[in-house]
Amino acid sequence: MGNEAKVALVTGASRGIGKAIAIHLARNGFDVAIGARTRQEGEAREHSPTVRKSDVTPLPGSLESTAREIEKEGRRALGVYVDLLDRTSLGSAVSTVLERWGGIDVLVNNGRYIGPGHMDRFLDAPVELIERQIQANAISPLYLTRLVLPSMIERGSGIVLNITSGCAVSDPPAAIGEGGWGLGYGMSKAAIHRQAGILAKELAGTGVLFFNIEPGLIGTERMAIDMASYGFDAATMTPPDVIGAVAAWLVGSPDSANLNGQTIDGQQTCRELGLLPGWPVAS
């Protein structure tokens, strides 16, 4: 990637896994462009996972607060507005990073749909809401990948990292409300899950690598606020820093090429390699 500062673009970086990845990449020498809808703390957006109610109470986190954490690590931060249901914002975000910083070495497709339909049963959710999840969770990341690939191929190096989910390849243990997840989420994550393995074959020899990280259950801010009523206890889950540490290791490891196209189990990898001091906490 040369002697200049490496550049990453991370979506969904205002909080949760995306914020943790952005900070860990900064800690490992990256300037980080961070994309999300929430620019400043306190912005109100719909985040109820069900059509049965509305919830626009502000969630903790913003691009501004993530940027401050990146800058504390001595790296540059660039906030760009990214709405995964607005394709224009995706092109604008990538263009802004390329114009300001000259290139994107790593794309992290972490952002996903937040809103009604996510935790509604199939017969209760309008098909349009399932379509939105597939658009945000699968098609928009594919579009972002398409936008960054030409410059990566021209440079002869680059990494596309997708945050996938175990629901992409497995059925829920029970229905929604009883410990399971919704159809739209499972379908959309299954779609993005296929990207890495296929593109790794198509673009073999270009120097561009593709990976999935399967994070497992992570105790994010939104998980704590929105998902408790569905049987998920964020306090017992793994902290987002685990996935941040794994992402930083993956994009910086000289062994990455050997994992091209593969899915990395985030929690298992962090545990086996000891990537996050103090985790897991000794019992």
For residue 64, is it within any domain? yes
| pLDDT at residue number 26 | 98
Q: What's the mean per-residue pLDDT of the chain?
A: 93
For residue 258, is it within any domain? yes
Location of structure tokens 């299954």: 190
Location of structure tokens 């939105």: 132
Give, to the nearest 10 degrees, the angle between helix 266-273 and helix 241-252. 70
For residue 13, is it within any domain? yes
Mean pLDDT over residues 95-107, rounded? 98
Closest CA relative to residue 234, chosen from 242, 226, 246? 226
**Total tally of structural domains belonging to the chain:** 1
| pLDDT at residue number 2 | 39
For residue 281, is it within any domain? no
Asked if the model's pLDDT at residue 16 lies above 60, the reply is yes
| Angstrom distances, CA of residue 228 to CA of 221, 252, 270, 271 | 11, 35, 26, 26
Considering the chain, what percentage of its residues have pLDDT values greater than 70?
Answer: 98
For residue 243, is it within any domain? yes
Task: Give buried/exposed letters for 138-177 (b at 16+ CB in 10 A, else e).
Answer: bbbbebbbebbbeebeebebbbbbbbbbbbbeeebeeebe
> At residue 217, what is the residue type?
L
What is the C-alpha separation between 15 and 223, in angstroms, rounded? 11
CATH number, domain with residue 42: 3.40.50.720
Encode pLDDT of 134-146 as tens digits. Answer: 999 999 999 999 9
For residue 279, is it within any domain? no
For residue 199, is it within any domain? yes
What is the C-alpha separation between 18 and 35, in angstroms, rounded? 9
| pLDDT at residue number 81 | 98
For residue 278, is it within any domain? no
Query: What residue numbers bound the domain in which 254 lies?
Result: 6-273
